[in-house]
């Protein structure tokens, strides 16, 4: 019933708190959302301007860059131009043409072309001995004569190459290495196809020498340096071949920065046709390779897709961007990863420039900070609202509890006062009516009996009023106690005397067990009230065959007073509430035998004010035991009491 009265006000209070709180949270969420949308709109406009500016800058720089590079080409040293353009890292490879559009780098001559025919017949004789008759020693001797007699340096070097070939077949390694060392010193000498005798000799030395020896490493470094230095004359086909062989011999330590560019240029040269000479950027027939040509047709730049994207993005480096966005590049057929993009036009192959948010910074710092402030404000307001609601709920519950207590008090007082007052009025009316009777012994006896009943009811009314006054003073913390050193046995004897005045036939059901004298510091009258209330509680909730036991004991530091009965008892829920105000175990018993439910609450308050404690042990239909535990007075306090010290008043 108590919970039912509180349920609806608390539910209403929760609704009053939750509905505005939810509405406030929703409005703040919408405000944050609207602010984010407005900020995104402003950013969208700013980003569109940046995107258009960047795309125009890319187109302008893209055109200017290839024209400037084409102007620097030197037809006499196309290999040097190739190395310079590739080393800058802006392109993956290039093709260089002359004014007529013919490729001059890489050259299109093959490695297996037949050498020019020599006029000296000894060449044919030596070649017949070497290849047809396999008389390597005779062929070697003829080649040696030719290396001394030939008029041109290139012919003498070619004769030495043939002599090395025959010596190796004869396992004359030392002689072969000696000749190869001589050839390696011919740095500027080329054959009819533009191949370097020195570079070929160094590669052949690596194939003859034992790998990882000092001599082998020296030759390897020398050949690597020669291949990386494009000022050394050499055909592109030979350079590519030597790079491939050198990579095969020592893949871990060889560093050839232009090797990939040479391979790509060679592949492009193999499929070179008119499509390379058309304006604009477009895909070539090579997978994933883009090409563009300068306006004069002399320079053709080759890009792999990844390099092309990176190069185009680099052209937009000077465009200022927010720290949480970046430019991205996508192919025409790709789905852009950016939040917006724009086409760079047909001249740039239809590639699209876009803006994308950085993953680690989904929103900018200021927006994130504002959102955090809004969230914290919402949480703070919600927390404050919940705290205020909780406080209001506590006040409401207390007010309802006080209102309920007042209602219970009025009902209890009305009932408890009505019974003795009605009895007194009935008895007085009877006495008044009997005044006209003859004064006889019988009437005198009856009158005395009525007067005793009136006195009993008056005492009952006095006790009831005293309990109400005591409860009121304790509840308002105005009860004053006169603390003195007293013997608990005196308290018990006085309480039993008062109890006998209230109830008849006490001695037949009350048993008292006194412990040795034990002094305590307390208010004697208040403690008498404690014992009387415990005895009356035991009397009221016991049947006709009641047995009440009152015992005192001590454990050295505390004095214990126990009141035991064989009454109706209580369950665990009742024992937890037995000391609450106006709580009564059985309303029917309380109504028939008097009581307002304040006795045990007064007992608890008095015991607590004396620094003691009270506990109850009970079992339904068996009985209850109330045990009061009070601290023993110190020896110094007992001494002052014996010499007449007046006690302390708290």
Q: pLDDT for 217-259, tens place per residue?
A: 999 999 999 999 998 888 899 999 999 999 999 888 899 999 9
Vertex 134 angle, CA 133 and 136, to 5°: 130
C-alpha distances in Å from residue 279, one per residue of 78, 267, 296, 540? 22, 21, 10, 117
For residues 489 and 505, give the distance between their C-alpha atoms in angstroms, rounded to a whole number.
22
For residues 397 and 306, give the distance between their C-alpha atoms in angstroms, rounded to a whole number.
73
Q: How many of the other CB atoms lie within 10 Å of CB of 299?
A: 23
Q: Residue 563, CB half-sphere, CA atoms under 13 Å: how many?
A: 25
- What pLDDT, on the 0 to 100 scale, is given for residue 275? 67
Q: pLDDT for 101-154, tens place per residue?
A: 888 899 865 444 444 456 788 999 999 999 999 999 999 999 999 999 888 899
C-alpha distances in Å from residue 52, one per residue of 11, 46, 318, 331? 60, 10, 13, 18
For residues 306 and 283, give the distance between their C-alpha atoms in angstroms, rounded to a whole number.
13
- What pLDDT, on the 0 to 100 scale, is given for residue 126? 92
In the chain, the largest separation of any two C-alpha atoms, in whole Å, equals 189
**Does residue 171 contact residue 190 with C-beta atoms inside 8 Å?**
no
Residue 295 binned pLDDT confidence (cut-offs 50, 70, 90) = confident
Q: How many of the other CB atoms lie within 10 Å of CB of 538?
A: 26
Q: In the chain, pLDDT over 70 holds for what percent of residues? A: 74
For residues 470 and 476, give the distance between their C-alpha atoms in angstroms, rounded to a whole number.
10
Token pair for 347 = 């001249």
pLDDT of 165 > 60? The answer is: yes
Greater confidence (608 vs 426) lies with 608
134: helix, strand or coil: coil
Token pair for 266 = 């060679």
pLDDT of 288 > 70? The answer is: yes
Q: pLDDT for 522-574, tens place per residue?
A: 888 888 888 888 888 887 877 777 888 888 888 878 888 888 888 888 888 88
Token pair for 390 = 């909780």
**Does residue 601 contact residue 590 with C-beta atoms inside 8 Å?**
no
* DSSP codes, 323-384: TTEEEEEE-TTSPP-SSEEEE--GGGTT-EEEEEE-TT-SS-HHHHHHHHHHHHHHHHHHHH
Which residue's entry shows tokens 């989904």? 362
Residue 58, H or E segment: helix 2-71
Q: pLDDT for 203-216, tens place per residue?
A: 999 999 999 899 99
**Does residue 245 contact residue 224 with C-beta atoms inside 8 Å?**
no
Q: pLDDT for 70-108, tens place per residue?
A: 888 887 889 899 999 999 888 999 999 988 888 889 986
pLDDT of 46 > 70? The answer is: yes
Mean pLDDT (the chain, rounded): 79
Rg (CA), the chain: 59
Strand partners, 618: 624
For residues 582 and 467, give the distance between their C-alpha atoms in angstroms, rounded to a whole number.
12
């Amino acid at each position: 019933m108590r919970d039912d009265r509180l349920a609806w006000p608390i539910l209403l209070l929760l609704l009053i708190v939750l509905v505005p709180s939810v509405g406030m949270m929703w409005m703040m969420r919408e405000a944050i959302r609207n602010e984010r949308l407005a900020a995104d709109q402003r950013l969208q406009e700013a980003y569109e301007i940046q995107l258009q500016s960047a795309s125009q800058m890319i187109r302008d720089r893209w055109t200017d860059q290839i024209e400037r590079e084409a102007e620097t080409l030197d037809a006499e040293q196309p290999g040097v131009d190739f190395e310079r353009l590739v080393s800058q890292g802006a392109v993956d490879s290039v093709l260089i043409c002359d004014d007529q559009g013919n490729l001059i780098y890489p050259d299109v001559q093959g490695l297996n072309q037949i050498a020019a025919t020599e006029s000296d017949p000894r060449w044919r004789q030596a070649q017949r001995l070497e290849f047809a008759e396999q008389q390597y020693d005779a062929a070697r001797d003829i080649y040696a004569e030719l290396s001394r007699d030939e008029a041109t340096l290139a012919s003498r070097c070619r004769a030495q190459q043939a002599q090395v070939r025959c010596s190796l077949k004869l396992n004359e390694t030392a002689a072969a290495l000696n000749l190869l060392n001589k050839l390696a010193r011919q740095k500027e000498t080329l054959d009819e196809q533009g191949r370097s005798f020195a570079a070929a000799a160094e590669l052949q030395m690596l194939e003859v020498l034992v790998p990882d020896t000092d001599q082998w490493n020296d030759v390897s470094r020398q050949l690597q340096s020669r291949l990386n230095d494009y000022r050394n004359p050499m055909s592109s086909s030979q350079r590519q071949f030597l790079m491939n062989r050198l990579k095969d011999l020592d893949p871990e330590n060889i560093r050839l920065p232009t090797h990939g560019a040479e391979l790509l240029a060679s592949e492009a040269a193999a499929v070179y046709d008119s499509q390379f000479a058309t304006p604009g950027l477009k895909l070539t027939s090579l997978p994933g390779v883009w090409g563009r040509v300068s306006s004069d047709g002399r320079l053709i730049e080759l890009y792999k897709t990844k390099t092309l994207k990176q190069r185009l993005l680099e052209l937009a480096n000077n465009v200022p961007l927010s720290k949480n966005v970046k430019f991205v590049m996508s192919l025409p057929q790709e789905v852009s990863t950016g939040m917006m993009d724009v086409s760079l036009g047909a001249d740039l192959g239809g590639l699209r420039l876009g803006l994308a948010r950085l993953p680690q910074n989904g929103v900018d710092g200021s927006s994130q900070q504002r959102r955090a402030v809004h969230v914290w404000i919402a949480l703070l307001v919600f927390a404050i609202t919940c705290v205020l609601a909780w406080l209001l709920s506590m006040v409401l519950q207390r007010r309802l509890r006080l209102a309920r207590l007042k209602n219970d008090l009025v009902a209890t007082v009305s009932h408890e006062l009505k019974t003795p007052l009605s009895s007194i009025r009935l008895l007085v009316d009877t006495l008044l009516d009997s005044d006209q009777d003859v004064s006889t012994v019988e009437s005198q006896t009856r009158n005395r009996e009525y007067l005793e009943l009136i006195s009993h009811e008056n005492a009952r009314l006095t006790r009831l009023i005293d309990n109400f006054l005591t409860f009121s003073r304790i509840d308002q913390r105005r009860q004053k106690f006169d603390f003195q050193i007293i013997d608990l046995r005196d308290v018990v004897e006085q309480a039993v005397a008062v109890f006998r005045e209230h109830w008849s036939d006490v001695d037949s059901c009350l048993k008292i067990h006194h412990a040795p004298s034990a002094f305590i510091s307390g208010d004697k009258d208040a403690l008498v009230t404690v014992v009387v209330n415990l005895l009356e509680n035991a009397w009221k909730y016991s049947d006709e065959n009641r047995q009440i036991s009152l015992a005192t004991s001590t454990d050295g530091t505390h004095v214990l007073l126990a009141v035991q009965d064989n009454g109706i008892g209580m369950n665990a829920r009742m024992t937890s509430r037995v000391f609450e105000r106006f709580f009564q175990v059985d309303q029917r018993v309380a109504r028939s035998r008097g009581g307002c439910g304040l006795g045990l609450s007064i007992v608890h308050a008095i015991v607590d004010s004396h620094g003691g404690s009270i506990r109850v042990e009970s079992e339904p239909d068996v009985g209850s035991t109330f045990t009061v535990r009070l601290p023993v007075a110190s020896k110094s306090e007992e001494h002052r009491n014996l010499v007449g010290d007046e006690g302390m008043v708290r």
